Amino acid sequence: MSGQSLLVPGELSPTRSVPGNIRRPEYVGKPAPSPYTGPEVQTPETIEAMRVAGRIAARAMEEAAKLIAPGVTTDELDRVAHEYMCDHGAYPSTLGYRGFPKSLCSSVNEVICHGIPDSTVLRDGDIVNLDVTAYIGGVHGDNNATYLVGDVDEESRLLVERTRESLARAIKAVRPGRQINIIGRVIESYAKRFGYGVVRDFTGHGINSSFHSGLIVPHYDSPHATTVIQPGMTFTIEPMLTLGTHEYDMWDDGWTVVTKDRRRTAQFEHTLVVTDSGADILTLP
């Protein structure tokens, strides 16, 4: 395991502005989003709009990731993704979502998810997850990936590689008629081969005109995840695997989630639409 010191909160830069002509999600400026009451199965028009949003989110993440290197701040990664989305007419979905102050989540080393970009400087040997969601055409596209910073130890590198593989296997398991717990069953069985923890309290989710529709996609084999997968459903799969426990603590900021044993964790995510024969990834650059 890496001998890096544990992460501490940095300083936040001022809130980035979004051009006035870019449509905002309904929750911006409110304490919470309105509950989603629509269907989980989407129209072809909504799915195509989500493909546009997903592509912008994927490319924004890609642009930010090009800067990842020792000495770069997570705030700088946020700036790049923010500007890319705005330049392409999209609103950064996380900005103002339940008060979140930035345009992506940057989760370093022991941070499971929802890390806030700030003055934190990436160090040689770190791993960092970027989670980027774009809102355009009235819909969201959501993706994330974990990246290596410089020369990363083998244990961390394998964790990242295997977390990416767990997502790929889960996507292949999606079929109409199966219950949604097939996704978690595939991820958990693969992770157990390596002794990894599988985070339980943060999940994949339905997504469409709503950032989080209410549909829950666990990454472990939950007996409660009995929703039957149907063509046209849109949701994310975003496994979070850990080198140790799946249990967590939360920082005082109310967002940053860290492993309780402070061991490292990795995550990957795509937004999908269910087809007649499987799943189509909507967050491809």
Task: Confirm whether residue 161 is marked as ligand binding.
Answer: no
Token couple for 218: 């666990």
Compute the distance between CA of residue 68 and CA of residue 127 in angstroms, rounded to an integer. 10
Contact 130, 151 (CB under 8 A): no
The DSSP letter of residue 55 is: H
Which amino acid is present at 146? Answer: T
Q: Are 107 and 67 in contact (CB under 8 A)?
A: no
Residue 205 in contact with residue 144, Cβ under 8 Å? no
Q: Three-state DSSP class for 154?
A: helix
Q: Is 269 annotated as a binding residue?
A: yes
142 is in an annotated binding site: yes
CB count within 10 Å of CB 128 equals 23
Place of tokens 């080393």: 109
User: Tokens for 243?
Assistant: 């080198």
140 assigned to a ligand binding site: no
SS3 125: coil
Contact yes or no for 148/127 (Cβ under 8 A): yes
- Name the binding residues for a divalent metal cation: 131, 142, 205, 238, 269
- Name the binding residues: 114, 131, 142, 205, 212, 238, 269
- Name the binding residues for substrate: 114, 212
